[in-house]
Amino acid sequence: MQHKTHDYHQFCDALHKEWFNNNLAQDDILEDLFQMDYSPEPYFVLKNGDNPLYMLLTNPGDGMDFQHRKNFEKSDYSNFSKKLVDKYTSEEFKTGAPNAHRRLQKSISFSQELGHNALVNIETIPFHSPKLDKSKALNAIHNSYTLQRYHSVLKNFLKKKPVLIVAACSSKRSISISNITKSPWLMYQVDLAGIKVADLKIKPLTIKNDKITSAIFSANDKHIVLMMGSNNLPSLKNSL
C-alpha cells in the first residue's frame, strides 16, 4: 500500500479504498488475525464540536453485517464513518448491544467532564476481530507494512491533540504507574498518543479496601484511565 499522504483522514480514505479493491488480501499477517471481509473502522466522530477529545481504543471488535464487503457499492470512508455513528447511537443498537451502547454514552459524559464538547473514537488497529490477542497484535503491528504506515500517520496526527486511553487492568494490587510501564500494549499506545510517561500524574477515582481500583493518569491534555476488571468508565464527578 503505497500512500504518500501524511493526512490522517485522507490516509483512512485511501486505506478503505485499498480494502474495497481487495488489495489488503495480500497481507497474510492481517488475514490471519482480523476479519478482512469487514470494512476497516479507523475512526468515527461520536459527538461533534469545536473542542474534541480523541479516545484511543484497541480495535473495533466483531464485524457486523452492515460492515461486510457485500454491502458496499463503492469506497467512501468519510461518509461511511457518519453511518457508523447513526448505527451506534440508534435504538436498534441500544437494544441489541446495550453494554456497548452504554460505554459510548459514558465516554461522551467523561469527555465532557474533562472539558471537551466533542469526542472522536480512534482505533489503534482499524480491523475487526471477535477477540484480540494483544501480544499477537503487537507482533502484527511490527511486521505488517499496512499497520506500520497507519501508525506513522496516526502518531503524527495525535502528537498535539488531547487524547484519552482507557484500559482494564489486573485486580491483584492497587493501581499504580507500573500497570502502564509493565504492559507492552499500553506502552505502545502511550507512544502512539504522544504521552510522556515521566510526566503522568495519578488521580485515584475509586478505592475499595484501601486499594485503588480505578484511576486517571494525566499529563496536560493527555490521559489514561485504568480500571480493574472492566472498561466501564467511572465518573470524574464522583472521584475522590
Q: How many CB atoms lie within 10 A of CB 181?
A: 13
Is pLDDT above 60 for 240?
no
Instruction: State the residue range of the domain holding 75.
Output: 8-228
Tens-digit pLDDT profile for residues 6-51? 799 999 999 999 999 998 867 889 999 999 999 999 999 999 999 9
Q: How many CB atoms lie within 10 A of CB 199?
A: 11
In a domain, 188, yes or no: yes
Please tell me the total count of domains within the chain. Answer: 1
State how far the Cα of 66 lies from the Cα of 182, in Å rounded to an integer: 38
In the predicted model, what is the mean pLDDT of residues 134-149? Answer: 94
In a domain, 152, yes or no: yes
In the predicted model, what is the mean pLDDT of residues 141-147? Answer: 94
In a domain, 3, yes or no: no
pLDDT level of residue 1 (50, 70, 90 thresholds): very low
In the predicted model, what is the mean pLDDT of residues 95-104? Answer: 86
CB distance 207 to 213 below 8 Å? yes
The pLDDT value recorded for residue 176 is 96
Q: How many CB atoms lie within 10 A of CB 42?
A: 26
The pLDDT value recorded for residue 5 is 57
In a domain, 236, yes or no: no
State how far the Cα of 154 lies from the Cα of 123, in Å rounded to an integer: 10
Is pLDDT above 90 for 148?
yes
In a domain, 24, yes or no: yes
In a domain, 2, yes or no: no
Q: 70 Cβ partners below 8 Å, 6+ apart?
A: none
The pLDDT value recorded for residue 238 is 61
Is pLDDT above 70 for 3?
no
The pLDDT value recorded for residue 96 is 86
In a domain, 60, yes or no: yes
In a domain, 39, yes or no: yes
The pLDDT value recorded for residue 37 is 95
